[in-house]
Amino acid sequence: MQLFISPGACSLAPHIALRETGADFEAVKVDLATRKTEAGDDFLAVNSSGKVPALILDNGETLTENPAILLYIADQNSSAGLAPAEGGRDRYQLLSRLSFLASEFHKAFVPLFAPATSDEAKADANVAVKNHLAALEKELTGRDHYAGETFSVADIYLFVMLGWPGHVGIDMSAYPALGAYAGKIAQRPAVGAALRAEGLA
Ligand SMILES: N[C@@H](CCC(=O)N[C@@H](CS)C(=O)NCC(=O)O)C(=O)O
């Protein structure tokens, strides 16, 4: 498999998941400004939206969108325990968390990362991110895991996004439960390995 990534972007989540499951894969870095890979190949030929992550499967098929990619990786090696089995209610709770992270939490950050965003829109986005952080702080207080009772791809995905507020000037010390939660996940060997591979450690 080939995973197309940009250091520190949401593609870090499937990168960590691949390392957690011990999958055989190659990480291919993409320059999101030029849409070229490190080797100079056109990333738009892989994903016409130009967004990472994209995963090329062993059969040559391309999979995009984090929730689908994360579940695919988890299901390829179910013994790693990163997602409950299909059909059970826990699976739907996991899907609910992944969908929230992709469609609500991630999207709240987008204006803060976009250079052309007006100050007014940035202020609104700042409030939206902080509201999500406050809700997550409540949800994670006294809990070690975001979905169910065990470590899952939802924890990996949330961990990656909890690394973003600091880059847009949001002080995470206001969210101590989230800080402790992310701190524990950061200690996992697969997380450290992915961060080092992306030049972030
Ligand atoms: N809905 C997509 C969003 C992916 C996405 O927005 N990726 C960002 C990095 S975190 C990206 O590639 N941005 C470049 C761009 O929008 O041009 C998913 O969840 O996989």
Could you report the per-residue pLDDT of 111-137, keeping only the tens digit for each?
A: 999 999 999 999 999 999 999 999 999
pLDDT digits (tens, 9 = 90+) for 52-81: 999 999 999 999 999 999 999 999 999 999
Tell me if 8 CB under 6 Å of ligand 1. Answer: no
pLDDT digits (tens, 9 = 90+) for 142-167: 999 999 999 999 999 999 999 999 99
Domains of the chain in sequence order: 2-81+190-197 (3.40.30.10), 89-188 (1.20.1050.10)
198 touches 15 (CB < 8 A):
yes
Q: Is the pLDDT of residue 201 over 90?
A: no
In whole angstroms, how large is the CA radius of gyration of the chain? 17
Q: Is the pLDDT of residue 173 over 90?
A: yes
Average pLDDT, the chain: 97
Tell me if 114 CB under 6 Å of ligand 1. Answer: no
Q: Report how far ligand 1's centroid is from the alpha carbon of 160 (Å).
A: 13
Single pTM value for the model? 0.98
Q: Which atom of ligand 1 approaches the CA of 66 most closely? A: 20
Q: Report how far ligand 1's centroid is from the alpha carbon of 49 (Å).
A: 9
Q: Which atom of ligand 1 approaches the CA of 10 most closely? A: 10
**Atom 13 of ligand 1 has which residue's CA nearest to it?**
51
Q: Which atom of ligand 1 approaches the CA of 69 most closely? A: 20
| Average pLDDT over every residue of 88-105 | 97
Q: Report how far ligand 1's centroid is from the alpha carbon of 142 (Å).
A: 31
Tell me if 66 CB under 6 Å of ligand 1. Answer: yes
